Amino acid sequence: MAPSQLVVGAQILTLGLTFIILCRRFCSPLKTIPGPPLASVSRFWHIYHIIKGDQNLQLVNLHDKYGHFVRIAHNEVSVSHPEGIKKILLAPLRKASWYKFLSIPDYRYQTPMSTTDPKKKVERSRHLAAGYTMSNILQAEDSIDNVILQLLTWLDRSAESKEAVHLDKHLTYTAFDIAGEVLFSKQFGFLKEGRDVGNAIANGLVLSLYASTMGFFRWVHVIMIGNPFITSLNILPFGHLFDTTVRALDERLDNRDRSRFDVVDHWLKAMEKNPDQVSLRDVYAAATGAVGAASDTMSCALQSFVYFMVRHPNAWQRACEEIEQAQKKQGLCRDRIVKFADAQKLPVLQACIKEALRLFGPVPMTLPRIAPPGGLAIGNKLFPEGTIVSINPWVMHHSRESWGHDAREFNPDRWLQGDSRALDRYFMPWGQGYNSCPGQHIARIELSKITATLVRDYRIRQVDQNQTWQWKAYFTLVPHSWPCYIERRRLKD
């Protein structure tokens, strides 16, 4: 190509980009919505802060500055209006195309989470829902206890040696192994070996960053990586997660003679009952998504509880005294691992769990939906059809309008006051509406049992009490690097 042609081509490209930028900045129906200048013309402001790992804090700060509506991309508005959750998440709005990325390892492995049409999503979820019911998950409580016992073995060793322990790692191992036990009736072996088996956890950080950014460029992802050919080569970072799940599921399929009916059994039953609607590939996809979601989100939730409780010793002491009173007066919490039913009867402990999830929840990404035909009215704003409107859990959980002047502080007592049930409208660690986390019953059981047992049996303190933990806000939040000392408490009769 001649130099003159290159110059003409560059000029045309420049003019085209300039035209797009000007239209998005000054002609868009969203032009009056405040936000960072770069966000008004592209997605790159949002992507930059995802890569930087501070998207959650940036969004909180922007809503503090601009109010209920902030433009975070040329076609997306982040909403913190009190009506937002009801109008966006609790309504049957189509999910934004970003969710389509969540078919791992490639586009053939569709899940309820990757399905954007609400009717199709609900239908896909319906066939898998039986595995996630509270009554069915509780059938695995004894098996969950066996996993937690292994965690306590590690903690006891650390208490005896008086050496610092990286609690973040052991809680992550626990989350993985409980997921394996509940799904496949078999642990993955992280706690048994005391290490990251198959690098599934280490590569999870890479997957989290990749998923949170490339979801906006899914066509590139499908062409370059998310296709059957690349999957067959088994060279992807998130292939470790997929391979770990596939191995466990393959073993599970070879041995269906189990003493209890686990989650996979329910899914296989759904496949046998509705073979035209549920395929074996759907089961593999659901299992991969469940393992990935359960491990990261539960690791964050468990760490959040311990981190804030050890930094607020009075809260730990109050929860401990509550358990002692429950033992003495009601005969509760006397098993080696606290029963879920017993932990549910501990209001102070449950308040501390909820407050930790509110203040440092596992989901930093926005939850985007698409405004329907006729537009979507929220407060005094009407968003035209096709606009992406989103709710960010961190923004909602840190809103002083909803939570009061101390919204940025750890205060479990807010959940113990007379009007605390009203706060549940704004509490969304597992999302809300038709796309809320299907595994939240697993999370509630796991959180309640582990936290109650830890509070009752141990004293935990950071090696450096002034050191804050480290984390990045990619697809999920998984903190790390806050070593602790463990001390065994002398249990009272």
Are 310 and 461 spatial neighbours (Cβ–Cβ below 8 Å)? Answer: yes
Tally of CA atoms within 13 A in the half-sphere of 492 that contains its CB = 10
- The pLDDT assigned to 241 comes to 66
In this structure, the number of other CB atoms found within 10 A of the CB of residue 330 comes to 11
* Binding-site annotation, residues for heme: 437
**Tell me, what amino acid is at 232?**
S
Dump the DSSP string for 293-362: HHHHHHHHHHHHHHHHHHTSHHHHHHHHHHHHHHHHHH--S-SSS--HHHHTT-HHHHHHHHHHHHHS-S
Q: Token pair 């929220």 is at which residue?
A: 378
In this structure, the number of other CB atoms found within 10 A of the CB of residue 11 comes to 10
Q: Is residue 371 part of a domain?
A: yes
Q: Please give the Cα distance from 76 to 369 (Å, whole number).
A: 9
Q: How many domains are there within the chain?
A: 1
Q: Is residue 183 part of a domain?
A: yes
The residues near 357 (Cβ < 8 Å, ≥ 6 apart) are 301, 304, 305, 427, 429
Q: Is residue 23 part of a domain?
A: no
Q: Please give the Cα distance from 449 to 302 (Å, whole number).
A: 11
The residues near 24 (Cβ < 8 Å, ≥ 6 apart) are 40, 41, 42, 74
- From residue 222, alpha-carbon distances to 47, 232, 233, 276, 290 in Å are 19, 14, 15, 26, 22
Q: Is residue 18 part of a domain?
A: no
Q: Is residue 65 part of a domain?
A: yes
Three-class DSSP category at 486:
strand
Q: Please give the Cα distance from 296 to 300 (Å, whole number).
A: 6
- From residue 39, alpha-carbon distances to 57, 78, 227, 292 in Å are 16, 11, 31, 30
- The pLDDT assigned to 26 comes to 76
The bridge status of strand 69-73 relative to strand 376-378 is: unpaired
Cα dihedral: 130, 135, 137, 143 (round 10): -140
- The pLDDT assigned to 491 comes to 61
Q: Please give the Cα distance from 2 to 406 (Å, whole number).
A: 65
- The pLDDT assigned to 257 comes to 62
Q: Is residue 1 part of a domain?
A: no
> For the domain that residue 484 is a member of, what is the CATH number?
1.10.630.10
pLDDT block averages, 10 residues each, the chain of length 493: 71 76 80 94 95 97 98 97 96 96 89 95 92 92 96 96 94 94 90 84 80 90 87 65 77 70 90 92 89 86 97 96 97 97 98 98 96 96 97 97 96 91 92 92 96 97 93 91 92 52
- From residue 142, alpha-carbon distances to 1, 50, 265 in Å are 71, 39, 18
- The pLDDT assigned to 203 comes to 75
* Binding-site annotation, residues: 437
* CB burial readout 448-464, b (16+ within 10 A) else e: bbbbbbbbbbbbbebee
The bridge status of strand 388-391 relative to strand 381-383 is: unpaired
Give the domain range for residue 121: 30-488
Dump the DSSP string for 105-162: SSTT---TTT--SHHHHHHHHHHHGGGG-HHHHHTTHHHHHHHHHHHHHHHHHHHHHT
Are 486 and 460 spatial neighbours (Cβ–Cβ below 8 Å)? Answer: yes
Q: Report pLDDT digits (tens) over 127-174.
A: 999 899 999 999 999 999 999 999 999 999 999 999 999 999 999 999
Q: Is residue 199 part of a domain?
A: yes
Q: Is residue 478 part of a domain?
A: yes
Q: Report pLDDT digits (tens) over 190-246.
A: 999 998 877 777 777 778 888 899 999 998 989 988 888 888 777 665 556 677 788
- Please state whether 162 falls in left (phi above 0), alpha (psi between -120 and 50) or beta: left
Q: Which two tokens stand for residue 182?
A: 């509940």
Spatial strand order in the sheet of 69-73: 69-73, 76-79, 388-391, 367-370
- The pLDDT assigned to 289 comes to 86
Q: Please give the Cα distance from 81 to 68 (Å, whole number).
A: 5
145 phi, psi to nearest 5 deg? -55, -40
- From residue 11, alpha-carbon distances to 8, 184, 401 in Å are 5, 59, 49
Q: Please give the Cα distance from 23 to 41 (Å, whole number).
A: 8
- The pLDDT assigned to 67 comes to 97
Q: Please give the Cα distance from 189 to 173 (Å, whole number).
A: 8
- The pLDDT assigned to 94 comes to 97
